[in-house]
Amino acid sequence: MNFELEQEHKMLQKTIKDFAVNEVGPGAIQRDRNKEFPFEVMKKLADLGMLGLPFPERYGGAGADTVSFVIVTEELSRVCASTGITYSAHISLGGAPIYMFGTEKQKNSYLPQICCGESLGAFGLTEPNAGSDAGGTKTVAIKKGDKYIINGTKCYITNASYAKFLALTAITDEEDKGISAIIVPTDSKGFRIYNRYEKMGLHASNTTELSLNNVEVPTQNLLGEKGQGFKQFLKTLDGGRIGIGAMAVGIAQGAYEKSLQYAKQRVQFRRPIHQFQAIQFKLADMATKIELARNMVYKAAWLKDHGYTYTKEASMCKLFASEICMEVTNEAVQIHGGNGYMREFEVERMMRDAKLLEIGEGTSEILRLVIAREIGC
């Protein structure tokens, strides 16, 4: 088994690492404090051709693979998780459903806008009473003639303020509660976006509430087959979990690197603290867990790229990576001591950002249920 990245992946990794260090990292503290969306960063990523990375060239993408997407997400998250989740959601939740389930006409209409950054990708699934329990969806789309009339509310939706359209789930068959996915332009009459959440972390990312009041869209905006929305978003979430796993690895790597650097500079009892065995053990455990998580994430991405079933591996990598990310960032704060509690040292931001990864795209508890099902329990 060859665990070495291919040459094109190495080139991409170097390009995006340099970009992250020079263009993303320097403003991360300020963006977090001011809750400032990384709009200029996303524009530069578009110029680099990263916003359509895994989509075919005929739609304006770069024709790359999932491993490439993982590399970019990890490197961005290493310096700024808000940028990482913006990018990951744009690809895996915004563009992927349209690419996987859309008609050729829908792909030609919507994917080029996503690939060039004209519209950021978003996906409307979660509702106040329907997150992991998607069967509790209350948003309804009633067919009248050649239109759907949509009413409902969505919450915790990433990137919607910067999306010209998004796919969202709604009940299209009231008798059997069948759920479908429908592409909805965000400038539709009766469609409102509210950006008013006060979050624990990821302050620079865009997290919104959507309100739909008699929103009309053509029936041709149905994404895939009617009643197949439940299956569609399960497949979408599999890809999204790989993105969250990559984010977790990136955040943990950033926290580890800052801790190692700090331990070499911080002097206590007349010597750098990295010379104390207690600190060495912490750093060794952090490095080991990050490497294990990275291997799991890249394996899931490889399986997806090669056409294998990857639901179990996507759930495992997201579960493990998100939990070790919390462990690593917690240890990073501990190694920094009192300084770790201060914003200027950044590890406290990484710890706050890490927590969402144990919740988004399925909580750790839900993922354990998915894995249990996949192994035959």
Side-chain-facing half-sphere of 256: CA atoms under 13 Å: 25
Side-chain-facing half-sphere of 295: CA atoms under 13 Å: 10
Q: Which two tokens stand for residue 159?
A: 């990137």
Query: Of residues 6, 23, 361, 365, which has the active-site annotation?
Result: 361
Cα–Cα distances in angstroms (integers) from residue 263 to residues 26, 38, 55, 292, in the given order: 22, 31, 42, 23
Q: Which two tokens stand for residue 274?
A: 């990295």
CA 229/CA 23 separation, integer angstroms: 38
CA 53/CA 66 separation, integer angstroms: 9
361 is catalytic: yes
H-only helix segments in the chain: 7-19, 28-34, 39-47, 66-79, 81-89, 96-101, 104-116, 229-265, 277-305, 311-336, 347-357, 364-374
- Name the residues annotated as catalytic: 361
